Amino acid sequence: MSENRAAPGGSVRLAPGLEVSRIGLGANQLLGPHGFGHPKDRLSSLAVLRRAVELGITHLDSGERYRPRVANGLIREAIQPCPADLVVATTAGVEEDGWRLPYAYRRASALATDVDNDLSELGKEQLDLVLLFGGATSDNDGVPLSQGLEVLAELRERGLIRHIGLNECWPEGVSLACEITPIAAVQADFDLFRPQDDDLRSACLERGVVFVARYESADAMLRTADEEQLRALDAVATRHGASRVQTALAWLLARFPADAILLGARTVAELEENVAAGRLHLRPTDLARLARP
């Protein structure tokens, strides 16, 4: 691997034979407004995807949760041939009528259709990582988590899926899922400034499952920061000649060395700024300043 293909932020092992860059790219910012539909500038979106691979990103998330399904097609068009180390995560179990409904309100058999769609749109014979969205706790709530995982496990046995993960699970569901089948990763939104409130991430740590912190964009990381926290970020950023966002990213990488991160990026410049954060090494004094603003 050439120097500029070094994994941004280092690498993390999701499962045997499945290692990804700690900084990954979510595709929703490459679509239309609010992550829905076709992009206004298709060439720009394709350029971001190509540049991501050039910069060493080996973890893409298609974010295919809405109709019309667009991201898979962009990924397939942009990245040809597909590098052997590139992992494209897809999500199964979300309604495609414009609403984020968990698969609990669908038949479990619909998960196979989701997988077939992703295979066709990405032009693959096998999906790298399929994340099961949501999950019900009882038959009265819809399709139980166990049943959804059993469907995906069967598809894995057929060779259509390499690894299974979870998307938007609840903490107890992580333990339940791990009893049913190996879980490679759990992806969810994460509040950098209130990690003590995140029981889901703690459940992942207890089970040895990689937590993938998801952000719509790098700026979204800062939405819950108060003025004192922003001042602390700015002070550290100034010392390193970095941006506030880069400092927040570097802080997240340093605080949770076993985690991966998914970030959206609208432009090549925004993507490059995110990736550069992986080369920012914060000192113990910086970490102390950020932890106690």
- CA neighbor of 221 nearest in space, from 284, 264, 168, 268: 264
Q: What is the pLDDT of residue 138?
A: 47
Q: What is the pLDDT of residues 239-262, one digit of tens each?
A: 999 999 999 999 999 999 999 999
- Band of pLDDT at residue 139, cut at 50, 70 and 90: very low
Helix (H, G, I), strand (E, B) or coil at 167: strand
Marked catalytic residue, from 66, 103, 105, 215: 66
C-alpha triplet 203, 244, 32: angle, nearest 5°: 75
- Band of pLDDT at residue 68, cut at 50, 70 and 90: low
Mean pLDDT of 62-89: 86
Q: Which residue has the tokens 């979870």?
A: 166
pTM given for the model: 0.91
Angle, helices 171-180/199-207, rounded to nearest 10 degrees: 30
Give bridge partners of residue 276 from the DSSP assignment.
none
Report in angstroms the alpha-carbon separations of 113 from 24, 108, 162.
26, 10, 17
Residue type, 267: T
Contact by Cβ (8 Å): 129, 89: yes
Quickly count helices (H) and strands (E) in the chain. 10, 10
Q: Which residues contact 164 (CB under 8 A, 6 or more apart)?
A: 129, 130, 131, 132, 149, 152, 153, 156, 181, 182, 183, 184
Q: What is the pLDDT of residue 142?
A: 52
Contact by Cβ (8 Å): 175, 207: yes
Percent of the chain with pLDDT over 70: 88
Q: What is the pLDDT of residues 96-109, one digit of tens each?
A: 554 444 444 456 77
Q: What is the pLDDT of residues 145-161, one digit of tens each?
A: 888 899 999 999 999 99
Q: What is the pLDDT of residue 1?
A: 35
Q: Which helix (H) or strand (E) is 153 found in, with range?
A: helix 145-157
C-alpha triplet 5, 10, 13: angle, nearest 5°: 110
Q: Which residue has the tokens 């994340």?
A: 131
Q: Which residue has the higher pLDDT, 6 or 236?
A: 236
Q: Which residue has the tokens 């991201």?
A: 71
Report in angstroms the alpha-carbon separations of 237 from 83, 203, 262.
34, 32, 21
Mean pLDDT of 179-198: 90
CB hemisphere CA count around 231 (13 angstroms): 5
Q: Which two tokens stand for residue 210?
A: 């990689």
Q: What is the pLDDT of residue 49?
A: 97
| φ/ψ bin of 201: left (φ > 0), alpha (ψ from -120 to 50), beta (otherwise) | alpha
Mean pLDDT of 198-204: 92
Q: What is the pLDDT of residue 33?
A: 82
Chain centre distance of CA 150: 23
**141 has pLDDT over 60:** no
Rounded to a whole number of angstroms, the distance between the first and last alpha carbons of the chain is 39
User: What is the average pLDDT value for the chain, to the nearest integer?
Assistant: 88
Which region among 30-39, 55-64, 164-173, 175-184 has the lowest average model confidence (pLDDT)? 30-39
Q: What is the pLDDT of residues 117-127, one digit of tens each?
A: 999 999 999 99
**2 has pLDDT over 70:** no
Mean pLDDT of 150-175: 94
Domains for the chain: give ranges and CATH numbers.
Answer: 3-226+245-281 (3.20.20.100)
Rounded Cα–Cα distance for residues 79 and 75 (Å): 6
**135 has pLDDT over 80:** no
| Best mean pLDDT range from 32-36, 119-123, 135-139 | 119-123
Does 66 participate in catalysis according to the annotation? yes
